[in-house]
Structure 1
């Protein structure tokens, strides 16, 4: 009964509890290490993919923004022409 302790009528096996805590800690560390490895692999793959692109993502974004501004201006001009607004 030395390894057992009674808490409010609940008998707990302390060695089994300690073993579970240790295994949970080890499992958490292994899980964190695995997650770090996955993140590193995905980061490396993403960086390689970005380097293989013909056009840089910033250039694509600038082109899309320019296209959106042109389309907005054309829409605004068409609306003004339709409604006869001087603005």
Structure 2
């Protein structure tokens, strides 16, 4: 009974079993974190390779989309002003 502690009238905790479980849980957490890092590195590498292989860089696509949105917004504003006979 030296490895067991008594708490609250009969509740017994086996310390060696508890410590072993805590150690295994810690090892499992470290392995899980290492696996997650490896997955993220693989995905980042694949993403970089994919972006390098694109014909048009993503920044150029974003700039083009922004210009098109501005033109569409101006056209919509102009159509609204024409429809409502507004000077603004």
Q: Which band: TM-score by shorter chain?
A: over 0.9
Quick check: 1:4 aligned with 2:1? no
TM-score in terms of structure 1 length: 0.94
Segment of structure 1 superposing worse, 8-17 or 18-27: 8-17
Runs of 4+ in 1 over 3 A off after TM superposition: none
Quick check: 1:42 aligned with 2:43? yes
Match of 1:66 in 2: 67
Match of 1:31 in 2: 32
How many residues matched? 87
- Root mean square deviation of aligned Cα: 0.9
Q: How many Å apart are 1:82 and its aligned residue?
A: 1.4
The runs of 5 or more residues in structure 1 that have no matched partner are none
Segment of structure 1 superposing worse, 52-61 or 76-85: 76-85
Separation (CA, whole Å) in 2 of partners of 1:28 and 1:3 = 26
The runs of 5 or more residues in structure 2 that have no matched partner are none
Separation (CA, whole Å) in 2 of partners of 1:52 and 1:73 = 34
Separation (CA, whole Å) in 2 of partners of 1:78 and 1:26 = 65
Q: How many Å apart are 1:81 and its aligned residue?
A: 1.3
TM-score in terms of structure 2 length: 0.93
